[in-house]
């Protein structure tokens, strides 16, 4: 029976590179792969799935909402690969779960586990609840040699945990960090803001 997979990692852990490698392997064997991504991810062009290493492939399906999943033809599809799955709604994740069962197709979802505030994304939470297999794509902290588990956001060069949870960006805005360095950098960012704010 085909499974629903969730492969998660911090920013810079080569999740998308992994996805593209899997797609290449299937296609090199003459097998059909369906590539999906959320419509809101426009960082590298709305229709493109691109890794930081420069490899890219065009998405077959842009997921807007649950309705946009209706009517997809899964005939002859050997594997479905989903990039940036953290941005998907619970309903879309449940639909992917159904597809894996009804069509006996493996569904591999790649994405972040938590936002830069350390909270689970909606899509990630539902995947943690429903996936048959949960795998971590590991990376090291930007500041030390520990394993990264946090996504550290920067605004004007200062680390912050403020702002909306969905705030698109790449390495110019986000860095992978262990929890120790995450809290240290957030503290430094807050201190710098306090020092820069004139007292009344």
Residues 99 and 121: beta-carbon distance below 8 Å = no
pLDDT at res. 199: 53
> Closest Cα to residue 155, out of 95, 196, 110?
196
Catalytic residue among 47, 56, 67, 84: 84
Q: Is the pLDDT of residue 16 over 80?
A: yes
Distance CA 197, CA 191 (A): 10
> What gap in Å lies between CA 81 and CA 32, rounded to an integer?
11
CA 113 to chain centre: 7
Backbone Cα Rg of the chain: 18
Domain ranges for the chain: 4-196
Superfamily holding 4-196: P-loop containing nucleotide triphosphate hydrolases (3.40.50.300)
Q: pLDDT at residue 48 above 60?
A: yes
Catalytic site residue 56?
no
pLDDT value for 168 = 65
Most confident option among 50-54, 63-67, 176-180, 183-187: 176-180
More confident residue, 176 or 158: 176
pLDDT mean over 76-82? 97
Question: Residue 162: its pLDDT value, please?
Answer: 84
Lowest-confidence region among 67-81, 117-131, 161-175: 161-175
Percent of the chain with pLDDT over 70: 92
Q: Is residue 172's pLDDT more than 70?
A: no
Q: pLDDT per residue over 89-98, tens digit each?
A: 999 999 999 9
pLDDT above 50 (res 200): no
């Amino acid at each position: 029976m085909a499974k629903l997979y969730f492969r998660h990692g911090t920013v810079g852990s080569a999740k998308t590179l992994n996805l593209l490698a899997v797609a290449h392997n299937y296609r090199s064997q003459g097998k059909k792969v369906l590539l999906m991504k959320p419509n809101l991810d426009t960082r590298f062009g709305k229709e493109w799935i691109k890794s930081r290493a420069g490899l890219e492939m065009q998405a077959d399906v842009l997921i807007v909402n649950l309705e946009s999943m209706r009517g997809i033809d899964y005939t002859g599809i050997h594997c479905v690969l989903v990039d940036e799955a953290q941005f998907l709604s619970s309903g879309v994740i449940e639909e992917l779960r159904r597809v894996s069962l009804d069509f006996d197709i493996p569904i591999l979802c790649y994405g972040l586990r938590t936002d830069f505030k350390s909270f689970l994304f909606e899509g990630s939470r539902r995947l943690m609840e429903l996936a048959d297999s949960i795998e971590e794509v590991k990376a090291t902290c930007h500041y030390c040699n520990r394993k990264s588990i946090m996504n550290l956001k920067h605004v004007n060069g200062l680390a912050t945990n403020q702002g909306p949870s969905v705030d698109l960006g790449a390495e110019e805005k986000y860095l992978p960090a262990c929890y120790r360095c995450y809290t240290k950098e957030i503290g430094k960012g807050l201190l710098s803001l306090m020092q820069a704010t004139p007292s009344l």
